[in-house]
């Protein structure tokens, strides 16, 4: 069974009440539920995590490398703009991933435009709100079933 890991960075546990003008009104539990529903349609085995700690995210990515995770959907939140450690972990395990942001990181403060992940991700979804996670599952399905892609 295809294993998908969804990782969420700092402060995403506050979704629902946190700056709704940027992040919408859905909480992470609702997003997780909807994302899992889509994943089930593709028979994906999917796990969802959120952590406010950089080291925990690095550990989860390293663990994913050992557990044969096929694909990662990742909202690194503020670590998007700061974390060489998480970037290095993703490069080390070499698991394809999609970077997801609820808000459009390109039309906010200047510092949000820089991502440590976009150039090593399969692709990035930014600014579409909570549906970005569901679209990422669909994109993961297409990506994993495309035999023309170089392995
Ligand atoms: C975010 C965008 C980041 O700039 C911010 O630090 C977040 C959330 C998003 O989903 O839009 O915490 O990743």
pLDDT digits (tens, 9 = 90+) for 17-47: 999 999 999 999 999 999 999 999 999 999 9
**Among the listed residues 16, 15, 10, the one whose alpha carbon sits nearest the alpha carbon of residue 53:** 10
- pTM for the model stands at 0.96
Residue 100 has what pLDDT?
A: 98
Which residue out of 76, 80, 129 has the highest number of ligand 1 atoms within 8 Å of its CB and is therefore the one to mutate?
80
Please state the atom number of ligand 1 nearest to the C-alpha of residue 75: 13
Hey, whose CA ends up nearest to atom 2 of ligand 1? 77
The string of pLDDT tens digits covering residues 106-136 is: 999 999 999 999 999 999 999 999 999 999 9
**Residues tagged active-site:** 23, 101
**Among the listed residues 48, 27, 65, 68, the one whose alpha carbon sits nearest the alpha carbon of residue 137:** 48
Residue 132 has what pLDDT?
A: 98
**Among the listed residues 13, 90, 103, the one whose alpha carbon sits nearest the alpha carbon of residue 49:** 13
Residue 50 has what pLDDT?
A: 98
- Binned at pLDDT 50, 70 and 90, residue 151 comes out as low
C-alpha angle 41-17-33 in degrees, rounded to nearest 5: 15
Per-residue 3-state assignment (H helix, E strand, C coil) for the chain: CCEEEEEECCCHHHCCCCCHHHHCCCCHHHHHHHHHHHHHHCCCEEEEEECCCHHHHHHHHHHHHHCCCCEEEEECHHHHHCCHHHHHHHHHHCCCEEEEECCCCCCCCHHHHCCCCCCCCCEEEECCCCHHHHHHHHHHHHHHHCCCCCC
Residue 146 has what pLDDT?
A: 86
| Mean pLDDT estimate for the chain | 96
Mean pLDDT of 82-94: 98
pLDDT at residue 150 tops 60? no
Residue 137 has what pLDDT?
A: 98
The string of pLDDT tens digits covering residues 53-81 is: 999 999 999 999 999 999 999 999 999 99
Please state the atom number of ligand 1 nearest to the C-alpha of residue 79: 6
- CA distances 72 to 11, 18, 106, Å, are 19, 24, 22
Residue 147 has what pLDDT?
A: 73
Does any ligand 1 atom lie closer than 6 A to the CB of residue 34?
no
């Amino acid at each position: 069974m295809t294993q998908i890991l969804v990782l969420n960075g700092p402060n995403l546990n506050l979704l629902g009440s946190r700056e709704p003008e940027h992040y919408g009104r859905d909480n992470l539990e609702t997003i997780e539920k909807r994302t899992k529903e889509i994943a089930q349609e593709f028979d994906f085995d999917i796990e969802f995590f959120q952590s406010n700690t950089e080291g925990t995210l690095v550990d989860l990515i390293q663990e994913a490398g050992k557990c044969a995770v096929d694909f990662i959907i990742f909202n690194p939140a503020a670590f998007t703009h700061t974390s060489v450690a998480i970037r290095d972990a993703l490069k080390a395990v070499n698991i394809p991933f999609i970077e997801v942001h609820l808000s459009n990181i390109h039309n906010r403060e200047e510092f949000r435009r820089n991502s440590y992940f976009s150039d090593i991700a399969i692709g990035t979804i930014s600014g579409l709100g909570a549906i970005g996670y569901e679209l990422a599952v669909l994109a993961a399905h297409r990506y994993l079933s495309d035999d023309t892609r170089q392995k």
